[in-house]
Amino acid sequence: MLRALIWLILTALSGGGVVVYALYQQYQEQSAEFRILYRDITVKLAQNDVILALLSNSSDPAVVQHKFPYILRWQTQPHDPPRPDINPARAGTYWINSPQGSLLIDLPTLLTDFAHTQKFHHFSLSWQGVALLTQGAEGHDDWWRWEKQIISPSQPLNLVVTNNPDWRNLPWLVLLLMGVFWAIAIYLYNQYQMTKRQRNIADLRAHFSELARLNAMGEIAAGMMHELNQPLTAILSYSQTAQRLIAQQQAEKAQPLLEASVIQTKRISALLLEFREKLHSDEQTLQPVDLHNTWERVAVLLGNEIERGKVTVINQIPESFPPFMASPLGIEQIFHNLLNNAIQAQQQTDKAWVAINARQTGNDIVLTVTDGGPGLTEQALEQVFMPFFTTRKDGLGLGMALTETLVQRLNGSIQAENSPNGGACFTLTFPLTQQEA
């Protein structure tokens, strides 16, 4: 959700920049077009002054009309009474007057070329607020507007054009690529964060197992001292007594004491052997495990808690499910942790239940443990397998970390998610055939 929002913001910001730049370019291009249009119209209108100066009485109206179809009428004497300088006589026509005479210009015909080639949305030429020539739409709501008065003493017309951005010509492909770029960037950053987090978890776990090892060694050392102390004290006292007896020339009495010493020494040796075996006992031996029965046994072990919490424990593993090669104690511990957590998560729940299900897909066994509790929090979903992560007041946060270690020892994997009903759902996948480590 957050990632999508970040993507949207980044794409909108960078896309907005691109759009603004593209619009600015379009505006610049059209401003240039406006300047060209303005220049051409100015030149065209200036011709009228020249024509007015050159026309004489002798000019043949038919020839003039043919050459300059936009001159509707002309007079070579000053008009009397003088006509107004520009008289928008009727739509699109006006008089220009000079001491030599007057011309009636038909603006649409004069500018017919420009009118056809100009590409602005709205185009108008007006004089003192009276429109002489307009083209295109009204243009009041258009984005851009250019306005300039023609510099001509006889025809100071006002040129106005407006236009809209050409939306279809925006760099849509660039925008699309930008969206893709940010999506990839966010994805990669996410991956990076995830591997970093996984590394952190692995470091924590290594630290945790080191602690556990030290702890176990401490316990073993304490146990050894306790158990060796007694025989060593005995040997010391037997030997000292024997020494004394020999010094008193009573060597024959020393014999049983030395025998007792030997027995104690043998006991020490046996104890040490036992310790050594204990130290090696975590090498797991694989045996066929009946998953259905193991779940039942774990439910019996947790009978008190189940009864107290009024939890319905459901076993959906078929009784005929093929035995699975694993360490029986390991599977039992895994089930124990999962069931225990599910019970603890449903202490406030009325209809508490836990279900286990097993199926075989290809070369895998897939176990799912679901419950009717509130499910894992967002944080728990990410960190449930981290040592010391707990949301319970008296929790240690070691159960799921240990569970994951046990699952991995069986070459399996475990995933935590929430099922649609809201409860937690743990999915365990084991390869059907275990390679002995």
Ligand X SMILES: Nc1ncnc2c1ncn2[C@@H]1O[C@H](COP(=O)(O)OP(=O)(O)O)[C@@H](O)[C@H]1O
Which residue, 261 or 337, is less far from ligand X as judged by CB?
Answer: 337
Name which of 151, 165, 180 is nearest 11 in CA terms: 180
Find the shortest distance in angstroms from Cβ 254 to Mg ion.
60
Phi (first) and psi of residue 328, to 5 degrees: -60, -40
**If 0-12 CB within 10 Å is exposed, 13-18 middle and 19+ buried, where does residue 153 land?**
exposed
Task: By CB under 6 A, tell whether 339 contacts ligand X.
Answer: no
Task: Give the whole-angstrom CA distance, residue 253 versus residue 245.
Answer: 7
Which residue, 7 or 208, is less far from ligand X as judged by CB?
Answer: 208
- Copy the structure tokens of residue 247: 């010094």
Please give the size of the binding site for ligand X, defined by CB under 6 A: 22
User: What is the per-residue binding string for ligand X in 361-380, x denoting contact by CB under 6 A?
Assistant: ----------x-x-xx---x
Q: Which H helix or E strand runs over 138?
A: none
Find the shortest distance in angstroms from Cβ 221 to Mg ion.
29
Match 């006992």 to its residue by tokens.
281
C-beta separation of 398 from 386 below 8 A: no
C-alpha pair distances (Å), 240 with each of 236, 237, 244, 251, 255: 6, 5, 6, 13, 13
C-beta separation of 86 from 127 below 8 A: yes
Task: Out of 328, 399, 412, 423, point to the residue binding Mg ion (CB under 5 A).
Answer: 399
**Residues 304-333 within binding reach of Mg ion (CB under 5 A):** none
Residue 392: count other Cβ atoms within 10 Å of its Cβ: 12
Find the shortest distance in angstroms from Cβ 194 to Mg ion.
25
Find the shortest distance in angstroms from Cβ 197 to ligand X.
16
C-alpha pair distances (Å), 16 with each of 7, 281, 382, 424: 14, 66, 35, 43
Task: By CB under 6 A, tell whether 105 contacts ligand X.
Answer: no
Rounded to 5°, the CA angle 323-324-325 comes to: 125
Task: Out of 124, 294, 341, 418, point to the residue binding Mg ion (CB under 5 A).
Answer: 341
Residue nearest to Mg ion (CB): 399
Task: By CB under 6 A, tell whether 345 contacts ligand X.
Answer: yes
Find the shortest distance in angstroms from Cβ 26 to ligand X.
57
C-beta separation of 431 from 412 below 8 A: yes
Task: By CB under 5 A, tell whether 387 contacts Mg ion.
Answer: no
Task: By CB under 6 A, tell whether 238 contacts ligand X.
Answer: no
**Residues 73-92 within binding reach of Mg ion (CB under 5 A):** none
Task: By CB under 5 A, tell whether 373 contacts Mg ion.
Answer: no
User: By CB under 6 A, which span of 50-58, 99-107, 309-317, 336-344 interacts with ligand X?
Assistant: 336-344
Task: Give the whole-angstrom CA distance, residue 414 versus residue 416.
Answer: 7
Find the shortest distance in angstroms from Cβ 1 to ligand X.
21
**Residues 381-400 within binding reach of ligand X (CB under 6 A):** 384, 389-392, 395-400
Which residue, 378 or 436, is less far from ligand X as judged by CB?
Answer: 378
Task: By CB under 6 A, tell whether 309 contacts ligand X.
Answer: no
Residues that bind ligand X (CB under 6 A): 337, 341-342, 345, 371, 373, 375-376, 380, 384, 389-392, 395-401, 424
The site for Mg ion (CB under 5 A) is made up of 341, 399
